[in-house]
Chain A
Amino acid sequence: MPRWLTPNLLWIITPLVMVVSLMAGISSASAEQALDGESSGLRPRSVAFSGEVTQVMLQARSVVVQTKRGRVVTVTLKASTQIKASAQHIRPADIKVGDHVLIVGRPRGTQALDASTLTILRKAGQGARASPNPKG
């Protein structure tokens, strides 16, 4: 062990370096996303985010979702997409503008995403957990 770098000091420095760098990375990525949307940061792997539905396009089987950071993402609902509310499957028609949703999927292009799962966390105008449509 280096003389000046005592074990006690290292126990403080190591987590400090990790936390500061982690926060710097998060800040940097968040700023990047805020500047030019999420295009530059998206990876081909799955992503997940929550946001509010601002538009529902049933013909195109897609919904437009605005995240908390203000990003606008067009989410495509494929046939294999799991659409759920309170652990029950629902239809795309049950998604309404204003619903708060959690989306998991793979990015396609700059501001689009193929959803593998869309979960309604809160229905529009509700503070509590979403309840599924009995017709769904």
Chain B
Amino acid sequence: MQPEPLDDLDRLYARLQWADPKPNLTDRVLARIRRAQRIQHISTLATLVTLLALGLFAYALGRGLTFSGTLDFLEALVSNLDLLTDEADDFLSALVDALPLLEIAAVLGGAACVWLASHALPRLLTRQQGKAG
């Protein structure tokens, strides 16, 4: 039986040499896994906290929209769309005056914090630990 002729791949493998792994490779891999898990844990916790805050802000916004009369405004607008054509200035200026701007800003900020906690924070921590490690 004739041996198979050597091809390029065989010749390439023949030139490869075993590399000695670094002595603490396992420890370093495990440490990196632990760091990644810690970042994941922090990110999860931060995301849940910001989600909770977002819920509270949205709840406050619901109350603010009701008590400020904004919902009445919108009800009136839905039942009478002429307001936007005939009295747009009055209606919009009064609507802006009635809007619970603080609560709206809090909800927008809360949503931004959810994104930061779930996306930006893990990347930032990973980058920082990468530099440190």
Contact = CB atoms under 8 A, between A and B. Distances in A.
Do A and B form a real pair?
yes
Interface of A: 1-5, 7, 10, 13-14, 17-30, 33, 38, 41-43, 45-50, 67-68, 82, 84, 86-87, 102, 104, 116-117, 119, 121-122, 129
Give the interface size class of chain B: 35 or more
Given A25-B59, A41-B63, A48-B73, A10 B86 contact: no
Interface of B: 40, 43-44, 47, 51, 54-73, 75-76, 79-80, 82-83, 86-87, 90-91, 94-95, 97-98, 107, 111, 114, 118-119, 122
A73 to B, nearest CB: 11
A67 B73 CA distance: 12
A117 B115 CA distance: 41
B66 A26 contact: yes
The A contact surface, by secondary structure, is mixed
Contacts of B61: 22, 25
Contacts of A30: 66
Contacts, number: 145
19 contacts: A7-B119, A13-B51, A18-B111, A19-B58, A21-B56, A22-B59, A25-B59, A25-B61, A25-B65, A25-B66, A27-B62, A29-B63, A30-B66, A42-B67, A45-B68, A46-B94, A47-B68, A48-B72, A119-B90
